[in-house]
Amino acid sequence: MTPFGSFPERNIEGLARDAGVQCLEAAPCDPRRVDALYVGNFAGPSFTGRNHLAPWIASGLGLEGVPAMRVEAACASSGAAFYQAWAAVAGGVHDCALVIGVEQMSTATTEETGEILAAAGDVEREAVHGATFPALFGLIAQRYLHEHGLDRECLAAVAVKNHANGALNPRAHMRKPITREKALEARMIADPLGLYDCSLISDGAAAILIAAEPWTDNPVRVRGVGMASDRLALDQKPDITTFPAVRKAAEKAYAASGVSPTDVSFAELHDCFTVAELIAAEDLGFFSPGQAAPATLAGETALAGRLPINSSGGLKSKGHPVGATGVAQIAECFWQLRGEAGKRQVADPRIGLTQNLGGSGATAVVGVFSL
Amino acid sequence: MKARVYTHTTVHTAEGSYQLAIVEFPDGERRTVRITGPPVAIGDTLDWPQ
């Protein structure tokens, strides 16, 4: 995985290649053993003016000739690429698939970025009225706080926790702890969401190998995967304080793995906005509706808590190069399970879970992993 | 026709701020709208032109 940050001088192929080379060398894996490349990328053509990314990246990695394809599912693009690769390997189509998630966003202005991201929502029902993604999650957060009788303290608690974790992650975009006061006093973006409730606009790439047979002494096993979809527009959902696609994807992943929510030791959740982490933690069955907030305030999801969430710093602090996020979550899970997460290592990491969200909940991918 | 505010947010940009809401109609349909009048809160009832 490359560091996440702002790298406008790079090109998207170079970022992807760096992550791919690191992954192949760390495995270690001869590139000739790789028989497919899946690239998760949301908006490379819009951000960089380049299209047909997968064969470009394959050539740079010396993988000429393999099937190479780009998978797009908004912020869940590389989660979806992982899902495709896992299905192909599990189904016997490929023996060893390389999955790379990549995005380069610093090439666009903040305004341009907002427009590109908004296209992942329902343009006719939402974006046309000025509903950017911070606005959509502001609408979600307002309703969530209202229904559960909460205030912004619980959102700030998520931000403070994830920034504390990200400060320990050498690959994080923003390695800066923040205080509760700083989070609460930050300028408003889309109320009740302030600046520190929003994830970062980042560049970066991450890569993983999925193989039918292990060739290392301590491989990480994919215990179960689930993917599901839902309507794009918030106003077409009966309840915007839950993500049905996450619930469905989780049901599939839990059923396939034989794991229940209480078995999970740690999780990497899609905190594109602080409220999204709380809702995901409830949809995944870690907490009942409305209870993720008090649990977070009580420190239960902190690095030393009973269920560490976003040890990497999450999208909030590690950064959110949209197409790279799903694979980066799995990379963190890999390091945690193998005890290689350094200062942010969680205690007793038996089973890890990742949850990658696309749009305002229209795509979800959940993975369950163990040694 | 009346519409009830299901949720709302005020978006702050360099050019100014504006309020968005999801409103719910008596038949259960919801729409995302931009609020052009005074700020609204959850549960407020709005007059909606037929």
Residue ranges of domains in chain A:
12-107+200-370
Q: Which residue of A has its CA nearest to B24?
A: A235
3-state DSSP call for residue A282?
helix
- B-chain CB neighbours of A235 within 8 Å are 22, 30-32
Is the model's pLDDT at B50 over the cut of 80? no
Residue type present at position A21: V
**pLDDT digits over A39-60, tens only?**
999 999 999 999 999 999 999 9
**Which backbone phi and psi does A230 adopt, to 5 degrees?**
-155, 175
B1 reaches A (C-beta below 8 A): no
Out of B10, B20, B30, name the one closest to residue A131 (CB).
Answer: B20
The per-residue pLDDT for A111 is 87
Chunked mean pLDDT (size 10), chain A, 371 residues: 97 97 95 97 96 97 96 98 98 98 96 93 94 97 98 98 98 97 98 97 97 88 98 97 98 98 98 98 98 98 98 98 98 98 98 98 98 95
The per-residue pLDDT for B49 is 81
- A-chain CB neighbours of B31 within 8 Å are 125, 235
- For residues A301 and A295, is the Cβ–Cβ distance under 8 A? yes
- Residue A248 Cα to chain centre, angstroms: 17
Q: How many CB pairs lie under 8 A apart between chains A and B?
A: 64
Q: Which of A273, A291, A274, A295 is nearest to A283 (CA)?
A: A291
**pLDDT digits over A263-312, tens only?**
999 999 999 999 999 999 999 999 999 999 999 999 999 999 999 999 99
**pLDDT digits over B2-40, tens only?**
999 999 999 999 889 999 999 999 999 999 999 999 999
Q: Which of A197, A127, A187, A191 is nearest to A158 (CA)?
A: A197
- Residue B41 Cα to chain centre, angstroms: 8
- B-chain CB neighbours of A240 within 8 Å are 7, 22
- In this prediction, residue B48 has a pLDDT band, given cuts at 50, 70 and 90, of confident
CATH for the stretch A12-107+200-370: 3.40.47.10
Structure tokens at A146: 């209202």
Higher pLDDT, B42 or B50: B42
Out of B9, B31, B33, name the one closest to residue A142 (CB).
Answer: B9
Q: Which of A226, A2, A31, A209 is nearest to A102 (CA)?
A: A2
Q: Could you give the percent of chain A with pLDDT greater than 90? A: 98
A116 burial type by CB count under 10 A (0-12 exposed, 13-18 middle, 19+ buried) = middle
